[in-house]
Amino acid sequence: LMLLLILLIFSVSSQEIFDLSFFGSSRLIRGHHLFPNYFSPSSSFFSLPSKDEYAISYIHTHIGQINDVISDVSMDNMLIKSICSYSQEGETYYVVNTGSGEGRHEIALNLTMKELQESMKTHTESQVEVSHICSNGRTFDVVWHHAKNFVQHFIVEESPLKEVMNSSESMAREGYYPSTIQSFIAPSTPRALVIWRKGFGVKGRLYLSSISPVNREGHISVWRDDGFSWRNRTIPRSIRLGSFDLSALDWEVESEIRRQEVPSISISVQYSNQTLFERSYGYADLVKEIEATTSHRYRIASVSKTITAMLVTHLVNAGKISYGDRVFGPNGILSSLYRGPMNIYLRSITVQNLLEHSSGAWSHFMKLEFTKRELTNSQFLYWILASNQPTIPPGRVHIYSNIGYIFLGRVIEAVSGMTYETFARQSLFRPLNIEGAAIADRVPLSDEVNYYSHDNASPYLSWSPRRLDAAAGWTLKAGDIARVMSELNTHRNGKYRLMVVRGWTRWNYGRGVQIGNDGSIYHMGSMAGSESLAYSKGRLSIGLVANLRGTRENWLTPWMESVARRLSTRFQ
């Protein structure tokens, strides 16, 4: 591990502190970044050596000179790394730290906490990276970086120092490490401002040493390594069953793992309801280097929709509902969910419309399912019906909708008299001898992998599997997915025949399943932290899962589909 002294909270050894008089008239130093010593009665600065040979620190810069410094730095094709204010004799001055880098910087000075929070929200949504935040105990100075490289997810926390230190381990469990931290007294209590950044297999923790309440001597250190890469590593394999020559498959999967830096991939192939082979590659947990096995469970994202559609079909076959039943309105299945005003389009939505994504409402691109996190699930659905009623007649267009499938989960509960999860276990998983299937939660379940995402979305914080239960919430093994698809494909001309019917609004989507021209049926899944594929053709069924999503949705699923189609050709 590499020890990074990110920020000194109290005084440290004198060799690391420079008084203002040390600089004479030059007011700058090369090869170092300086930070104000807020506990010194005179102007002095902590010095951190920089690995950047172009690093320059400008000190004692007056507010009237800031724009000139920023302009000069930009003209030299450099970036501002941090700005920190301090006071001397009633005047405000700044330390400006610069260095090399790509992109452009954006500066905000003297923000209040409310302004900082609003700015954080705006920039996070725009995927602009926070480089550094500095506080003098009253206001905040922020440097943002607009870069070509994709921004990893980050969280800014300003709390009492003790709370920040205590949260280090819990944040590490969710894949976050402290990239910068600053402490200050406000007004008499030690507080800390920390940027938690999502690491791709980064090991990091806060360490507090030699604090004395009398002289305030001591410092905070951050232990962090350089992150995970498959370069020069052997990818571990876990193999269950199969006497076939799978060297070509191993090469293809491991090549993709290295190319995309995928932590793990698990695959299961069944033929005529019997397992041909199962293989897992990589690590279920990068930090602890826990090898992935065929017994590990993964979030399957939108493959959950196929499960939900099968459950609805069970109720249809039992005569408890029909595809043409209205869902909303006085006589709808979910009439008690919302009794307020509703337009004719909302009242006309049927079970079939929700299954086919033809309700005319709640497009996935609107991302409504990720908003209003403070609401309970029932409050959220009430808000959806009250504030987001359809503007297009149902049955006209295909609008892919997670929310439509969330409503189907509530339909299943209303008709069956059970929770969605219980009905799924009783009517589908138990008859197939699938054990351990569960709706995911923020805390990983037993035998569940950890999740990673290249994009600016946290697998644990950006969405709620419990809210999206019937749309994207299930965790299963790759073998469980293959078993579900074997069940569906075996009875595609029987009890599930109405699922495998091309929709009126989209030729390649039926009712909870995608339909290929070659007779294949499948569904893809992609959420922050995981991607999946459920596939079946002829007598062959395949489950493929990964604990990574790349810089966009469906980063790996096209590759997964190509692998499934080649396996289908080989083993038919």
312-321 core/surface letters (b: 16 or more CB in 10 A; e: else): bbbbbeeeeb
Q: What is the pLDDT of residue 238?
A: 94
| Most confident range, picked from 93-102, 172-181, 218-227 | 93-102
> CA–CA separation, 44 vs 22, rounded Å?
9
DSSP state of 63: G
Q: Is 215 exposed, middle or buried (0-12, 13-18, 19+ CB in 10 A)?
A: exposed
> CA–CA separation, 303 vs 555, rounded Å?
15
> CA–CA separation, 473 vs 440, rounded Å?
6
DSSP state of 179: E
192-235 pLDDT per residue, tens: 888 887 776 666 666 554 333 333 334 455 555 556 788 889 99
Q: Which of 215-219, 273-277, 511-515, 522-526 has the lowest mean pLDDT?
A: 215-219
266 with 542: CB under 8 angstroms? Answer: no
Helix or strand run (H / E) with residue 54: none
The helix/strand/coil state of 273 is: coil
User: Where does the pLDDT of residue 152 fall: very low under 50, low under 70, confident under 90, or very high at 90 and above?
Assistant: low
pLDDT of residue 400 exceeding 50, the answer is yes
User: Where does the pLDDT of residue 3 fall: very low under 50, low under 70, confident under 90, or very high at 90 and above?
Assistant: very low
288-336 pLDDT per residue, tens: 899 999 999 999 999 999 999 999 999 999 999 999 999 999 999 999 9
Q: Give mean pLDDT, residues 101-123.
A: 86
Q: What is the pTM of this model?
A: 0.75
User: Where does the pLDDT of residue 460 fall: very low under 50, low under 70, confident under 90, or very high at 90 and above?
Assistant: low
Closest to 488 measured CA to CA, from 465, 514, 524: 514
Characterize the bridge pairing of strands 514-515 and 521-527: antiparallel
**Distances from the Cα of 567 to the Cα of 276, 281, 293, 563, angstroms:** 11, 17, 21, 6
Decide which of 35 and 431 is more confident. Answer: 431
Q: What is the pLDDT of residue 376?
A: 92
User: Where does the pLDDT of residue 30 fall: very low under 50, low under 70, confident under 90, or very high at 90 and above?
Assistant: confident
Q: If you write DSSP's letter for every residue of 185-216 in order, what string do you get?
A: ESSSSEEEEEEEEE-SS--EEEEEE---TTT-
Decide which of 22 and 103 is more confident. Answer: 103
The helix/strand/coil state of 296 is: coil
pLDDT of residue 491 exceeding 90, the answer is yes
Q: If you write DSSP's letter for every residue of 77-117 in order, what string do you get?
A: T-EEEEEEEEEETTEEEEEEEEE--SSEEEEEEEE-HHHHH
In the chain, the amino acid numbered 371 is T
268 with 296: CB under 8 angstroms? Answer: no
Closest to 299 measured CA to CA, from 514, 499, 500, 462: 462
What sections of 398-514 are H helices per DSSP? 402-416, 420-424, 469-472, 478-490
Decide which of 117 and 395 is more confident. Answer: 395
Q: What is the pLDDT of residue 458?
A: 67
Taking all residues of the chain, what is their mean pLDDT, rounded to a whole number? 85
What are the tokens at 471? Answer: 């749309």
What are the tokens at 191? Answer: 């507080």
Q: If you write DSSP's letter for every residue of 345-380 in order, what string do you get?
A: HHHH-BHHHHHHT-SS---GGGTGGGS-TTS-HHHH
What distance separates the 2 farthest-apart alpha carbons in the chain?
A: 88
pLDDT of residue 92 exceeding 90, the answer is no
User: Where does the pLDDT of residue 76 fall: very low under 50, low under 70, confident under 90, or very high at 90 and above?
Assistant: confident
> CA–CA separation, 367 vs 467, rounded Å?
13
Percentage with pLDDT > 70 across the chain: 86
> CA–CA separation, 168 vs 172, rounded Å?
6
Give the total residue count for the chain: 572
The helix/strand/coil state of 398 is: coil
Phi and psi for 530 in degrees, rounded to 5? -155, 155
Characterize the bridge pairing of strands 548-549 and 452-453: parallel
**Both ends of the chain: CA-CA distance in Å?**
50
Q: What is the pLDDT of residue 183?
A: 72
User: Where does the pLDDT of residue 38 fall: very low under 50, low under 70, confident under 90, or very high at 90 and above?
Assistant: low
pLDDT of residue 486 exceeding 60, the answer is yes
